[in-house]
């Protein structure tokens, strides 16, 4: 990321939870999943600020997952979702 002039960065919450299922036994009391997708850019683009969840309270057995990916050129529909901040429209975006 440091070598790119610009990076379009998006943290997927709802989209990631819906597309990438997780099954843990025993079931956790609290779960936090963070997924960062970024796309290297040559030019600056204007995007709406992203809003984030209100917070996370650890209770009992807690699971925290952190992950990320580079959005490649063939994932252009996902990039369009990031630019338009439309992660609530799950069918319009894709994660590979």
Torsion (CA) 42, 44, 48, 54 in degrees, nearest 10: 70
| 59 pLDDT tier (thresholds 50, 70, 90) | very high
Q: What average pLDDT does this structure show over 24-48? A: 87
- Pick left, alpha or beta for residue 55 (phi over 0 → left; psi -120 to 50 → alpha; otherwise beta): left
Quote the domain boundaries for residue 53: 6-92
Q: Is residue 46 part of a domain?
A: yes
Q: Is the peptide bond before 26 cis (omega within 30 degrees of 0)?
A: yes
The pTM of the whole model exceeds 0.75: no
Q: Are 8 and 73 in contact (CB under 8 A)?
A: no
Question: How many domains is the chain built from?
Answer: 1
Percent of the chain past pLDDT 90, that is, above it, reads 17
Residue 1 lies in a domain: no
Residue 26 domain flag = yes
| DSSP conformation class of 82 | H
Percent share of the chain, pLDDT over 70: 74
């Amino acid at each position: 990321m440091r070598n790119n002039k610009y990076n379009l960065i998006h943290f997927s919450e709802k989209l990631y939870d819906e597309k990438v299922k997780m099954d843990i036994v025993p079931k956790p009391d609290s779960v936090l999943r963070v997924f960062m997708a970024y796309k290297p850019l040559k030019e600056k683009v204007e995007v709406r600020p992203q809003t984030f969840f209100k917070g996370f309270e650890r209770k009992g057995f807690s699971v925290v997952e952190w992950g990320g990916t580079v959005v490649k050129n063939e994932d252009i529909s996902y990039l369009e979702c990031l630019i338009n901040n439309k992660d609530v429209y799950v069918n319009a975006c894709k994660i590979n």
